[in-house]
Structure 1
Amino acid sequence: MGATFRKATIPDVEAIYQLLNYYAEKGLLLPRSKLSLYENLHAMTVIEDEGEIVGLGALHILWEDMAEIRSLAIHPKAVNQGLGKQLVVHLIAESAKLGLEKVIALTYQVPFFEKLGFEIVQKESLPHKVWKDCMNCSKFPVCDETAMVYMNQVLQPSA
């Protein structure tokens, strides 16, 4: 498979929307509006294979030391090929380049993220700014996702 990873562009929005809503209808991801996709497009990375979007994920910066991996989805025809793992590793590397110490995920896919080095944390331990998007969620305030954290090995500038 000749999949390539690249930043999402405006023409990708319809395919992103369809893929995210496919999983949202199954209760595996939270739905995203097209407006939300356009507003956050700069944070998204897509996996393209033969001109088709077969995966996507976003690195959403939350604060000076933290980002969230969100909207992680692999097209059903491309699952079990390691693309999800590669994409998370790609997004973690992006976060490290930005100098972020932590990457969080709010997920239903706990074993997947554990294999990649994420650890379960209490949701209450995360800063309130993490929850700003939750106010518009249909599951608020009874969120059933698991909070997980990955700690980057960020090199601090020497004094």
Structure 2
Amino acid sequence: MIRDAKMNDVKVMYGLLQHFANKGLLLGRSLSSLYDQLRDFKVFVKEGEEDAAAGQMLGICALHVCWENLAEIRSLAVVEEAQGQGIGRQLVEACLAEADHFGITRVFTLTYQPAFFQRLGFRHIDKNELPHKVWSDCIQCPKFPDCNEEALVWER
């Protein structure tokens, strides 16, 4: 079940993101930034579970609005035991539907998993095509400026 994130989800979200950040697979987020950007996040919880206690939250994903007609899919994470079941796809599709609701027709992602996003209709772009505004998170990353994430974009 996909729903909007709630305050009591933040610590579980933080743990899930830190797990993958420690493996170098995504950019970690501070608790403060998760609270600040809580409205960006969707969570996938086990059917019938309203609260996302550890073990109940299977995945998260955020749609971060950057500019007039540009948003970013970020912080996509699915617990390892639930990967390959379509949870990531459903989360990204929910974020793309929300972008459509807001009239946003261009959504990008920076990822180490480009094939996953290509299956969802994203295509490769040069990072230089993205406005400088989107790099504010990258400056905080320990891999900056030698990051090998790939930039992809989805356009309606």
Same fold judged by TM-score > 0.5?
A: yes
TM-score relative to the length of structure 1: 0.91
Amino acid at match of 1:95: A
- What is the correspondence of 1:51-130 to structure 2 with a 5 Å cutoff? 51=49, 52-130=56-134
CA drift of 1:39 comes to: 0.8
Amino acid at match of 2:27: L
Match of 1:47 among 35, 44, 49: 44
Amino acid at match of 1:67: A
Give the percent of matched residue pairs that are identical in Structure 1 and Structure 2: 47
Question: 1:22: which partner in 2?
Answer: 19
Distance 1:142 1:100 in 2: 30
For structure 2, which runs of at least 5 residues remain unmatched after alignment?
A: 50-55
**CA offsets 1:72-126 (integer angstroms, 9 cap, x no match):** 0111121111111111111111101100010000000010001111001000111
Which runs of structure 1 show a deviation greater than 4 angstroms over 4 or more consecutive aligned residues?
Answer: none
For structure 1, which runs of at least 5 residues remain unmatched after alignment?
A: 153-159
Matched, 1:36 2:40: no
Question: 1:157: which partner in 2?
Answer: none
The count of corresponding residues between Structure 1 and Structure 2 is: 149
SS in 2 for 1:36: helix
Amino acid at match of 2:76: L
SS in 1 for 2:143: coil
Amino acid at match of 1:55: G
Distance 1:47 1:105 in 2: 19
Q: Which has the larger radius of gyration?
A: 1
